Structure 1
């Protein structure tokens, strides 16, 4: 394979400087962040401008703005740095008790709330030098999963959204309905008719971003009357409390938060496919011992969560 002359002549420190400059949009602040001098960062910016043939930062009044090229680069520097770190963090063997590194996992606030505490306890016990970064998922991250997975260690996501991607199954959960504790219009059981009449709190409500159970409800001919749309599961119980609204929530989360949010947890009045949560990861990690260890930790955390859920009283 021929040598890539661009990479041979490129100082990787420039990538770090570029990332900070594009985020700070200010040479002085970038220098402070990097622990460097302002002249050194100015010199690096000059080298970057020569390399790209672009100003990257241009002055508008008393501030700097990104050029169109710099705007495109800003979305690429963080994934590129993450890839470089992964290369130099790699070892033939992995000793979790001795290593210092960070794993980044993209996840919903739901999975972070119910699985995250178990994972962090396991990490604290077995790998005190490991830091876990839980990054909030988004429709964009899922729709562009190939690009997302190149920059992180993986995504915790239910089956049904990704295909042709390696995954590790974690645990199953059950969808339940929540209504306000003081909602007298709903008794001990909900009906399909009520689900069609009551106002809803829903997640995202976009063509490619939705709660799977809500999509199933639409497939059986019940169209939720959406009143509130949120970008996460944790606000839902508090937006249901004290109202006549209804929402679908995962049982592990609903049981934990029902008392705080003054909501009741009820069984769904239709047959809902269980939520099968998995950890999705890029094929480049298949033989990575550190990543294999992380997958094992997540799998064990999923087993512990499932075991704890067996003690929940069922609706």
Structure 2
């Protein structure tokens, strides 16, 4: 494989400076963030301008704005910086008691609520120098899975969305229906007719982004009348309380927040396939000892969650 002459001649320290400069849009503030002098950052900006053949930052009144080229570059620098950090985070050995490292996991607010506290406790007990960054999942994760998994440690997501990527099974959960505690039209049991008639609160409601149980409704011939679309599960009970709306929630989450959300938890009047939650990760982590530790810790947390049910 031939050597990339651009990379050979490039000072990678400039990448960090570029990232901060484009984010702060101010040389003085960038210098403060980087812990260096303003002349040093000004000199780095001059080198970057020569490299790109573009001003990158131009004055607009009393402030600086990004040039059109800089806008494109700004979208690419954070993943590039993160990629470099991950390369130099790799170690032949991993001692959780002494290491300082950040793990980034993309997941739903549901998984953070039910699994997150156990994971956080185990990390605090065994790896005090490790920091967890939990990022909210969204449609972009599924639509650009390979690209996303290169920039994070993994994604907690149910089976049925990703393929051809390594995964670690975690736990299963049941789907339940949630209605307002004081909804007079709903008794102890729901009917399929009520599912057709009642207004719904739905997650995402897009072709590639949906709650799996909602997709099952359509498979049995029920097209939900969607009233409100949200991008997280924790919001749902509070949009149902005091109304005639309905939603599908994972049982472990629903029972945790039913009282605070002013809702009742009812069995689904159809055979909802359980949610099978897994941790998905990029093949490049297969031999990473730190990542293997993280996967084992997530499985242990999931086992503890299952035992507590």
TM-score interval (norm. to shorter): over 0.9
CA distance in 1, matches of 2:147, 2:71: 17
Gap regions ≥5 residues in structure 2: none
Q: Using the TM superposition, give the Cα deviation of residue 139 of structure 1 relative to its aligned residue in structure 2, in angstroms.
A: 1.0
| 2:240 pairs with 1:240 | yes
Contact 1:168 1:280 in 2 (8 A): yes
Contact 1:78 1:151 in 2 (8 A): no
Q: Using the TM superposition, give the Cα deviation of residue 216 of structure 1 relative to its aligned residue in structure 2, in angstroms.
A: 0.8
CA distance in 2, matches of 1:256, 1:97: 32
Q: Match of 1:34?
A: 34
Q: Using the TM superposition, give the Cα deviation of residue 8 of structure 1 relative to its aligned residue in structure 2, in angstroms.
A: 1.9
Gap regions ≥5 residues in structure 1: 310-315
Q: TM-score when scaled to structure 1?
A: 0.95
| 2:76 pairs with 1:47 | no
Q: Match of 2:297?
A: 297
Q: Match of 1:275?
A: 275
**Counterparts in 2 of 1:136-147, with a 5 A limit?**
136-147=136-147
Contact 1:176 1:266 in 2 (8 A): yes
Q: Using the TM superposition, give the Cα deviation of residue 210 of structure 1 relative to its aligned residue in structure 2, in angstroms.
A: 0.8
**Counterparts in 2 of 1:1-315, with a 5 A limit?**
1-309=1-309
Q: Using the TM superposition, give the Cα deviation of residue 293 of structure 1 relative to its aligned residue in structure 2, in angstroms.
A: 0.5
Say which SS state the counterpart of residue 205 (structure 1) adopts: coil
Runs of 4 or more consecutive aligned structure 1 residues displaced over 3 Å after TM superposition: none
CA distance in 1, matches of 2:114, 2:23: 32
Q: Using the TM superposition, give the Cα deviation of residue 181 of structure 1 relative to its aligned residue in structure 2, in angstroms.
A: 0.7
CA distance in 1, matches of 2:302, 2:126: 17
Q: Using the TM superposition, give the Cα deviation of residue 117 of structure 1 relative to its aligned residue in structure 2, in angstroms.
A: 0.4
Larger deviation: 61-70 or 81-90? 61-70
Contact 1:22 1:70 in 2 (8 A): yes
Say which SS state the counterpart of residue 97 (structure 1) adopts: coil
Q: TM-score when scaled to structure 2?
A: 0.97
Say which SS state the counterpart of residue 121 (structure 1) adopts: helix
| Superposition RMSD in Å | 1.1
Q: Using the TM superposition, give the Cα deviation of residue 60 of structure 1 relative to its aligned residue in structure 2, in angstroms.
A: 2.6
Q: Using the TM superposition, give the Cα deviation of residue 124 of structure 1 relative to its aligned residue in structure 2, in angstroms.
A: 0.8
Q: Using the TM superposition, give the Cα deviation of residue 182 of structure 1 relative to its aligned residue in structure 2, in angstroms.
A: 0.6
CA distance in 2, matches of 1:108, 1:46: 42
CA distance in 1, matches of 2:278, 2:72: 31
1:212-237: CA deviations, max 9, x gaps? Answer: 11111012111111111111111101
